[in-house]
Chain A
Amino acid sequence: MIAAASTSFGGVISYLTSASNWRGSSGFLERILQHFEYSAETLLIAVAIGLPLGLLSGHTGRGGAVLSMLSNASRALPTLGLLTIFAILIGVGLEAAVIPLIFLAVPSILVNTYVGIRDVDRSLVDAARGMGLRPWQVLFRIEIPVALPLIVLGLRTAALQVVSTATIAAYVGLGGLGRYIIDGQASRNFAELGAGGVLVAAFAIATESMFLVCQWFLVSPGVRARAYTS
């Protein structure tokens, strides 16, 4: 066992660098693409649900208590359990994997968006209304830009959760990078298992970096500097 562990590091590297492992229907490229597809699809749906709800309740100040209660409740749900239930209910497939991941992603987006908008200094909103901006102009021109660091943080957190948890989609028979981990474990192929782990980690780091870059370009220097100084 110890010998296997010590040789497995070299094994992981040779597994990762073997050209044949990158090609084909169960090759790395295909699996990375699948992983990206599940994650992106999940995130898009989660954003479509969480962002408008967070913006609306933050702007109007209504429904905050209900939203945070629902979010906390859904955070408490075990994703693996949900995955199994949906796989049983609707059969193995994309939906069975994506729906539980959506449950996982929505709360971060929703709560951060809501809190971000709520925390915008009320005097700014007052000044904006007082100068004759209409409610939607106040939201899009003032509240969202000022709340952006928190909104992007919510998206980033959600994306990371989805990317790392999408790994377990393999449990219900789907592809993605989780396949290597599950198959590797089942067949005691530590090189395959390790390669899966490395790829999932790299995928997560890439996701994180992408959001940091987005944040840098999207958030105004005036807000960015304030966030650092306060």
Chain B
Amino acid sequence: MIRFERVTKRYADGTLAVDDLSLECADGEITVLVGTSGCGKTTSLRMINRLVDPTSGTIRVAGKDVTKSDPAELRRTMGYVIQQGGLFPHRTVIDNIAPVPRLLGASRAKARGRAYEMLTLVGLSEPMGKRYPYQLSGGQQQRVGVARALAADPPVLLMDEPFSAVDPVVRSELQQELQRLQAQLHKTIVFVTHDVDEAVKLGDKIAVMQVGGHLVQFDTPERILARPENAFVESFVGTDRGIRWLSFFAAKGLRLHVPATVETTTSAEDARRIAREAGTGWLLALDADRHPLGWLEVATLNGGASIELAGLRSLGHTFKPDDDSLRAALDATVLSPAGVAVAVDDRGVVVGVADHEEVTRAIRAASGRA
């Protein structure tokens, strides 16, 4: 466990970076420090491995005051990941990963073996080990950064905005990768970010910090979104915090309806009949394997033209009731031209639909429970 006990950091120029911070980062959990720039989140992180020493107060790791340890030896027991990886350009990927086990006394061969293991663990192939950092993409560099931090198998991982410099798609991949690793390794992780979505996605606990180094709220992501401590947290988590909060409720609770469907081979006449009988203006078009293709607006059908000619409107996106949250389901209804979200199973086969009313009902039911 990492404990901040009334920690204050005041720089020589008088700036108060961290103000009387008390905080406990539980073992095996991800604690996210989040806040705007200048809120002291990075300084707080850097005090854990003594890249910065506190002006007053104590930081204990596993009960031991960090300022009592030799800084270099202390740091070898903690993985450290920074923005853009901080990889050494003059060394190959493998020689970037191997140094910490070497510093801790592993033989060269053993350290390299360990480094190759780590490379595979973070989802890179062995031949990548011989490349130089400039030959890797931003996302790959960041994976190497994580591999390097894990190489000595430290109980603690300090991550300073590790995914801020990569594009959103890669960031999301790296976040999932971290979640996968964490489920396997159970490290005590302190993670700094300015991105609320990232904090909510990764954090077991979130510490929201405010300029001047104040800790404003320390709580689970659910509670931070549902019950922000004050106006600062409320505005920081954003006007769509309600929508974000929905990501904590499974879409499983939705009562799915059976949609009125057509296939591409259905004639326009039949389609009109099906719509009339179902009392709807929109029909869900499926292929032969019952994968959804798009929405057919019955009013746009004219004469005996085939459905294909009439043209289908895009689905927006589908959701999976077993994996996705109410947030995804709500988003799917908003994007759907018919106002109806399409639920599919793992193979992409339609299992039902949910309209605005049903999603609203599920949200009411869920928030009543919360």
Contact = CB atoms under 8 A, between A and B. Distances in A.
A23 interface: no
B88 A128 contact: yes
Interface string B207-221: 000000000000000
B84 A134 contact: no
Nearest to A130: B80
Contacts of B132: 220-222, 225
A216 B91 CA distance: 16
Main secondary structure, interface of A, reads helix
Given A123-B83, A222-B134, A229-B134, A129 B75 contact: yes
Interface in B308-345: none
B92 interface: yes
Contact of A222 (B74, B84, B91, B99): B91
A103 B103 CA distance: 41
A223 B89 contact: yes
A148 B92 CA distance: 17
B90 A133 contact: no
A226 B75 CA distance: 29
Contacts of B82: 123, 126-127, 130
Interface string B79-120: 010111111111110000001100100000000000000000
A111 to B, nearest CB: 22
A128 to B, nearest CB: 7
Nearest to B85: A127
Nearest to A230: B134
A219 B132 CA distance: 13
A197 to B, nearest CB: 40
B134 A132 contact: no
A134 B90 CA distance: 19
A142 interface: yes
Given A131-B148, A133-B72, A142 B88 contact: yes
Nearest to A122: B86
Contacts of A223: 89-90
B76 interface: yes
Contact of A129 (B51, B88, B103, B145): B51
Interface residues of B, number: 29
B210 to A, nearest CB: 25
A222 B96 CA distance: 12
The dominant DSSP class at the B interface is mixed
B203 interface: no
Contact of B75 (A131, A142, A229): A131
A145 interface: yes
Contacts of A132: 72-76, 100, 103
Contacts of B103: 131-133
B76 A222 contact: no
Contacts of B133: 222
A146 interface: yes
B43 interface: no
B90 A126 contact: no
B49 interface: yes
A131 B145 CA distance: 11
B148 A126 contact: no
Contacts of A123: 82-84, 86
A65 to B, nearest CB: 20
Contacts of B92: 222
Nearest to B80: A130
Nearest to A144: B90
A124 interface: yes
Interface string A98-129: 00000000000000000000000001101111
Nearest to B100: A131
A132 B99 CA distance: 10
Contacts of B75: 129-132
Given A146-B89, A223-B90, A127 B72 contact: no
Q: Considering the complex of A and B, which 3 residue pairs feature the smallest CB-CB distances, nearest first?
A: A127-B86, A222-B132, A130-B80
26 contacts: A124-B88, A124-B89, A127-B80, A127-B85, A127-B88, A128-B86, A130-B49, A130-B75, A130-B82, A130-B158, A131-B80, A131-B99, A132-B72, A132-B73, A132-B103, A133-B72, A133-B99, A141-B99, A146-B88, A148-B90, A219-B90, A220-B89, A222-B89, A222-B92, A222-B134, A223-B90
Interface of A: 123-124, 126-134, 141-142, 145-146, 148, 219-223, 225-226, 229
